Each structure stands twice: as C-alpha cells, then as structure tokens.
Amino acid sequence: MKIRLKLFFALFFASLGLFAWQAPTVHAETTYTIGTDVTFPPFVYANSNNKYVGIDMELIRSIAKEEGFKVDIKPLGFNAAVQSLSSGQIDGVIAGMTITDERKQTLDFSTPYYESGIVMAVAPSSKITSLKGLKGKTVAVKTGTQGAAYANSIKDKYGFKVVTFDDSDNVYNDVKTGNSAACFDDSAVLNYGVKTGLGLKVVTKPADVGQYGFAVKKGQNQKLLKMFNAGLAKLKKNGKYDQIIKKYTGKTATSKTTKSNSEDRTFLGLLRQNQKAILNGILETLKLTIVSIICATIFGILVGLLGVLPNKFARGASTTIIYIFRGLPLLVLALFIYNGIPSLTGTKIPAFVAGIITLTLNEGAYTAAFVKGGIDAVDSGQMEAARSLGLPFGKAMRKVILPQGIKIMVPSFINQFIITLKDTSILSIIGILELTQTGKIIIARNLEGFKVWAIIAVIYLLIITLLTLLSKWVERRIND
C-alpha cells in the first residue's frame, strides 16, 4: 500500500511539473546586431567609462526596451557599418545616417528621428569665411558620409580638392594641422564639437539639410524596422525622445563634456582613465596574434612543403597560393572576407573569425615562401646523398633536409610573428576592438589624438621589444 501511495504521489508531482513546464512562459527576447560609428558625438561615442552613449545609443536602447528586443552594438565605423549591413553581417545601422534616394535603393529606412544639415569648419586662425574661399584649396571629409557627398557635389563649382578619411578625428586634425583648409560634416556634430573644445570654427549655415534614419537591408528585417518606428512614436508621445535630445544637445550636455575634457589630460592621466579599455585592446591584439600565427604557421608549412615536392601540380599550387595571398593588400583581403563572402553566400562570418582567416592567409603565404626558400637553401647534394643511401623522399626530407632548413627559417618565423602583431591593427576596419580601434574610440571622446596615439605607439613598441628579446633567446637555444 505504501509503495502504491509513493507511486501515486510521484506521478502526481511529476504531472504538476509537466504541467508547469508546458505552461506559457516568457519567450527569450530576440537580439539584433546593430552597427554604428562610435566616433560621432553627440550621436554615438564612448564616455569616460568607455560605454557607448549618445542620441543614437539612447534611442535604440530605449526603443528596444519599449518593444521587447535586445541590441548588440558593433563599433564598425560608418562606411564599414553600411557595407556590413549590405552584406548581411549585421541587422541594422544607426549612426546619424542621412536618408537619401541613393541609399534607399539598397536600404530601408525608419521614420526620421533627427534633422541636420552640412556645415563647413575651418581652423580658428583661418580667413576663409565662405565656400568661395576654398578655390585651389583642399578640404577633408569622412568616407561615405553626407558631408563627403555634399563636398564632392560642389568641388568643381568652387574649385577645391577633396581628401577622404575613415574617421572624424583624422578629418578634424587634417584641418588643424593645416593640411586641409576646411572640412565638411553634419551641423549637429560640428557644433557639438566646437562647444566641447574641438579647436575649429563653423563658418557656414547648414546646407543640404537632411533627415537621419535607422536603416536595415532592403527587404529584410522588416519586423525590426516596424518595431523601431513603433518605439520611436512611443518615445515622442511620452516625452522620452525630447529628454534624450536635450540631454545630448542642450547647454548642460556641452558644459558637462567641456568640464570632463578639462580634467587630467596628461599622458598618465589619459592612461589611468582608459586603462581598462587599453588593457582589453592589448589582450584582443595578443589573442589575434597568437591564434593567427599558429594557424598561419600550419598553413604556411603545408603550402611551403607543397612547393618542394617532386610534383609539378603541387609546386604550381604552392606558387599560386603564395602569389595570390602575398599580392592582395591586407585591408582588401579583410573586407573581402568579412563583407564580400557573406554577400555571395548569405552566411555571416564573425569579425574575430574573419580577422583570423585574413591573417592566416596573408601571413601564411609569407611563411610558405620562407619555408620553401629555407628548404631550397639546403644544398641539393644533401637530398641526393640521402636518396643514394636508400632513404625514401619523405624520410630524407624529414631526417636530413628539414633539420638544416629549420635553422635557416627560424629568424624569418620570428620576424613574421612580429609582423602579424602589427598587422592586427588593420583589422580595426571590420570593427574588432584591438588596440588601434580602442585608440580611435578614446580619441573620439577626448580629442587628444597626439597623446593617445603616442600611448598606443609606446605600447606596441614595448610588446614588440619583449617579443624580439624572446625570439633572440629562442634562436640562440636552437642554434646551440
């Protein structure tokens, strides 16, 4: 009887558990990957805690909260973000993007959430006060922006040349150093920068006024677009939208930013304030370097060995692989893998994976070349002697040729490791937060380009010096 009661209660509680399991539950919120340009204050930038803030960030997060979804923010830069959206690598872009007819051909836009025009800024000492003063001069713009489009549309009329940069800091610095006479950018951005110590002055009224919108790839993520529009309407109705705009454009916002920018801006002060972000950048750089050099070494050795096999096809394949991946610029290869391949296949490639593949193919091709060269450098008589003693090709290569070739290759292996470390900086173009990208984000907030880049440069030199000392120790051990 007791056994039956126990069995009854067991089944009873199990059925309750089953019922509870089958009961309606709150579904997990969908997470959308949103690309942006974190060097675009007051719309997007990193604050003193290196958290992404600004009008765009507060809007997308508030809308996500209203509509019940989550966002994963990717700091890609404006041009790279648009390319990543077109290739399907991300779900949407919010980066102060002006809605234009040209962009509507490949993108679907939300209801406009801000209106801004294009203005021209010059150095404080400049005598240029209008577009007419640009004749024969050079102006700076940022790649893919409406400011760049506007400058290019009037350059023939006013007789100036255009130089293009990937981030705002380089645009502004080009004007401050005198390389460019002026720059064009959104009025909200330049006016905010001037008020917070940018070191330029705006000399024209807003022209080519346009509206900002949140964008998705044409015909895709329509649910996300509808939720953005619905959430934006709610924010405007409940007053949250006005609060966000005032928070980042009002007098209080600019005065707070000016005060924070006037704090400890010495080298040690900047290093102390951004130590966590810089440390994360160093770790990401080292992780990229170590994983890439392992993959590149394996790839390079295999391709290099193909090049010394007594087979025409194998030698031809090795030569072709080395030729292609040594010949392609690293920047082009990174963008092709991260944006080009997904456009063709429809399959997303994580930025870190794309970076590893890029470095593996490029650095591996160089590794293959010196592996092949190292083996070829061993006297051909060594192989003939080994074969005459009855050793098969594989064993002769393994026992006689490779031990001699490795000593020749070691310095090149070590040098390639250092080159790989430096080449990781190029991967900032696809949004990987390594050391160089970290520097760009810090500069966007404090505008201390010289000091921040000096800190980044010293860090790179310290790491490379340690690697060089380690490599010399390894080389001595092998040669002993």
Please check whether residues 375 and 434 belong to one and the same domain: yes
Residue 149 belongs to a domain with what CATH number?
3.40.190.10
pLDDT, tens digit (0-9, with 9 covering 90-100), for 311-353: 889 889 999 999 999 999 999 999 999 988 988 887 888 889 9
Please check whether residues 123 and 185 belong to one and the same domain: yes
Q: Is 392 helix (H, G, I), strand (E, B) or coil?
A: coil
Give a yes or no: residue 13 inside a domain. no
Please check whether residues 142 and 73 belong to one and the same domain: no
Please check whether residues 277 and 395 belong to one and the same domain: yes
Please check whether residues 251 and 162 belong to one and the same domain: no
DSSP class of 221: -
For residue 164, the cross-strand partners are 141
Please check whether residues 283 and 253 belong to one and the same domain: no
Residue 244 has pLDDT above 50, yes or no: yes
Q: Which of 403, 436, 64, 93 minimizes the C-alpha distance to 277? A: 436
Residue 5 has pLDDT above 60, yes or no: no
Residue 417 has pLDDT above 90, yes or no: no
Instruction: Say whether pTM exceeds 0.95.
Output: no
User: Which helix (H) or strand (E) segment is 81 a member of?
Assistant: helix 78-86
What is the structure's pLDDT at 23? 41
Give a yes or no: residue 22 inside a domain. no
Please check whether residues 174 and 319 belong to one and the same domain: no
Residue 303 belongs to domain spanning: 269-479
Give a yes or no: residue 18 inside a domain. no
Give a yes or no: residue 25 inside a domain. no
Residue 1 has pLDDT above 60, yes or no: no
For residue 119, the cross-strand partners are 185
What is the structure's pLDDT at 141? 95
Based on the number of CB atoms within 10 Å of its own CB, is 440 exposed (0-12), middle (13-18) or buried (19 or more)? Answer: buried
Q: Which of 414, 422, 405, 410 minimizes the C-alpha distance to 470? A: 414
pLDDT, tens digit (0-9, with 9 covering 90-100), for 204-230: 999 988 899 999 999 999 999 999 999
Is the preceding omega at residue 350 within 30 degrees of 0, hence cis? no
Give a yes or no: residue 35 inside a domain. yes
pLDDT, tens digit (0-9, with 9 covering 90-100), for 6-46: 444 444 444 434 333 444 444 457 999 999 988 888 899 88
What is the structure's pLDDT at 441? 82
Residue 396 has pLDDT above 70, yes or no: no
Please check whether residues 402 and 446 belong to one and the same domain: yes
Q: Which of 211, 212, 225, 218 minimizes the C-alpha distance to 85? A: 218
Work out the angle at residue 345's Cα, subtended by the Cα atoms of residues 342 and 349, and round it to the nearest 5 degrees: 35
CB 458 within 8 A of CB 268: no
Is the preceding omega at residue 42 within 30 degrees of 0, hence cis? yes
The mean pLDDT of 227-251, rounded to a whole number, is 91
Tokens representing 69 are 């979804």
Give a yes or no: residue 23 inside a domain. no
Among the ranges given (65-69, 126-130, 291-295, 465-469), the one the predictor scored with the smallest mean pLDDT: 465-469
What is the structure's pLDDT at 3? 46
The mean pLDDT of 136-156, rounded to a whole number, is 92
The mean pLDDT of 79-94, rounded to a whole number, is 90
Q: Mean pLDDT in the chain?
A: 83
Work out how many domains the chain is built from and give that number: 3
